[in-house]
Copies of this chain bind each other. A is one copy, B any other.
Amino acid sequence: MLVDGRSTTLITVADRGFQYGDGCFTTLEVRQGVPLFQERHLQRLQRDYTRLRIPFDQTAALHAELAAMAAEGGNGVLKVILTRGAGGRGYRCPEPPQPSRVLSFHPMPEYPTAWASAGVALHLCKTRLGINPALAGIKHLNRLEQILARAEWTDPDTPEGLLLDAQGCVTEGTMSNVFLVQGGVLTTPKLDRCGVAGVMREMVMELAAGMGLRVRQRRCRLADVYQADEVFLSNCLIGLWPVRRLGEHAWRPGPCFQRLHAAVANAKQEAAACAA
């Protein structure tokens, strides 16, 4: 683990990441020492800290540390957290802020292979996402909604939950984005009011467009999910998982999922091979 370039597992209590969740993060898959889709992750991180007005300017150090940690780690998950750094008591931002960067390496989660082939059961979360356009899309450190949602179920055969927003619109999974296919059109919920705009979500939209699929972001209701021909989830670690069950509703992995799943697997292999 690296905190501002030093090898330590500790951070100051005064860090605003700890005091207020004042920061953002991203999580990359590392294959044989290569962080997959690194540029996309760093771009998303930059978009997020810019929106939070965290004046992070240690990108050269971050890139070097990320490359070194990935090379050393082999296969696994690399998590990067950026915060506004240490500050005094109170919400007012320290002036000038000295942002912190924290890198950590973790084992790759071992999911049953059937989840990617036959699909997963989805829990419908009672916890709703608050609507806040100023924070929507950002992978920030204020994650109590996801924590409360994830605590709603314990069945180990249900790996994910579906989150609606305060107005009942389908938004995302607790750790993934959601896609619907209906009449050959690929739809994913708009994330202009809440939710996390995942790196894999963006990739899936691009891959689908490249295949000639119509892709749209819009407000989705549960009825849209129930009526969809296919439902699947995306995130950088899981890739894509088809949804096979949500309450009384059931699906099989469909043709759009199959094509996109193969395209994502391909993109991961190419990314690992190109950078190696």
Contacts and interface: CB of A to CB of B under 8 A. Distances in A.
A143 interface: yes
B135 A145 contact: yes
Contacts of A15: 18
Centre residue among A3, A27, A52, A132 by max chain B CB count within 10 A: A132
A106 B148 CA distance: 31
Interface of A: 1, 3, 9-22, 27, 52-53, 77, 79, 81, 84, 88-93, 102, 104, 106, 109, 127-135, 140-151, 166, 174-175, 194
Given A93-B150, A127-B134, A132-B130, A144 B52 contact: yes
B20 A1 contact: no
Contacts of A194: 130
A149 B77 CA distance: 34
Given A21-B141, A90-B175, A13 B104 contact: yes
A91 B173 CA distance: 12
B174 A91 contact: yes
A20 B21 contact: yes
Contacts of A140: 144
B131 A166 contact: yes
Contact of A175 (B81, B91, B141): B91
How many subunits of this chain does the assembly comprise? 2
Contacts of A130: 129-132, 135, 166, 194
B12 A144 contact: no
Contacts of A175: 90-91
Contact of A9 (B12, B16, B127): B12
A13 B11 CA distance: 6
Given A127-B134, A129-B132, A166-B166, 18 more contacts: A11-B12, A13-B81, A13-B102, A16-B147, A19-B81, A20-B21, A21-B21, A21-B144, A22-B147, A52-B144, A52-B148, A77-B89, A90-B109, A92-B151, A128-B133, A128-B134, A130-B135, A134-B148
Contacts of A17: 18
A132 B142 contact: no
A272 B273 CA distance: 68
A42 to B, nearest CB: 19
A21 B194 CA distance: 17
A115 to B, nearest CB: 15
Contacts of A151: 53, 92-93
Contacts of A77: 89
A20 B134 contact: no
A194 B175 CA distance: 24
